Amino acid sequence: MRVIVTGGAGFIASHIATAHLARGDEVLVVDNLSAGRRECVPAAAEFAEVDITDRGAMAKLWQQFRPQIVSHHAAQIDVRKSVEDPAYDAQVNILGSLNVMKNCIECGTKKLVFASTGGAIYGEPEQLPAAEDCPVRPMSLYGVAKYAVEQYLAAYGRLEGLNYTILRYANVYGPGQRTDGEAGVVAIFAGLMLSNRQPTIFGQGDKTRDYVYIEDVVRANLAAIEAGDGGTYNIGTGVQTSDQQVFDQVAKAAGYEGKPTYADERKGEIRHIALDSEKAERELGWRPQVQFPHGILQTVAYVREADAGLL
């Protein structure tokens, strides 16, 4: 198959591009390198340095490559930035996504797999873990934009027959995640601890998140190629892990004996979330396989080798 992966120079999508190549697919990575890194793009993939908001350049790429599958991960991912600059967030996450959809329709793309958010879209759920039918009440503009794209996909499905699958991710972590990025507390903590610098926890350490390992996320994306047409699926573990527990697990793996500093909680961030992924198990045949302690060990080992220049 011919596959376009938007945002494929970033953490999650570069792993997905690699998995498609391993299947024997032809892969074109589209990324403007605003947050991604050129060296993360798999060597066997074609690469186009293009912003998804560039209508002309995007249309040209789709017409030339004629993708059968599109994995849409390019996004503005900083929750705090979405609150500070909602117009920019909407420009990238909504208008850029509309460019992707429009080109998929015009080129007859078989399936568009969209990376949405389970961590930000539900707000503060009344019941945890949150299932897909939980009320959508995002507390950040990032969550609002992602949900808007979900609604555009559904409308294009009805109006134009666009086939899609929406994957609502929990907090994704694992090898390859940047230690200096805008998101990804596991990698950020690991980078700081391994260089003997003190991490900061925003709040008192009691906020909880659902952490899902990158390999599990890749498997969900591959499953969505053949299943889940027109569906929306949580991709998470259903387990709440506190900020303090993340600190403790990473410290143990890194051999760090210091304590964190604590700062005020940040605007737009929820306090507790975990995702019910039973629907993904029923309809995609997907369930998480990697336990958090093992994933932490793998992530810290990666960061240690990267810092030592061994990668």
Residues labelled catalytic: 142
Q: What are the φ/ψ torsions at residue 300 (nearest 5 degrees)?
A: -65, -40
- Going by their DSSP bridges, the two strands 69-72 and 208-209 should be labelled as unpaired
Q: What are the φ/ψ torsions at residue 131 (nearest 5 degrees)?
A: -95, 175
- Other C-beta atoms closer than 10 Å to the C-beta of 218 total 21
Cβ neighbours of residue 251 under 8 Å, at least 6 residues apart?
189, 193, 257, 258
From the number of C-beta atoms within 10 Å of its C-beta (0-12, 13-18, 19+), residue 278 rates as middle
Cβ neighbours of residue 239 under 8 Å, at least 6 residues apart?
210, 211, 274, 292
Which residue matches tokens 């569906």?
231
Cβ neighbours of residue 299 under 8 Å, at least 6 residues apart?
173, 174, 175, 177, 186, 187, 190, 253
Identify residue 70 by its one-letter amino acid code: V
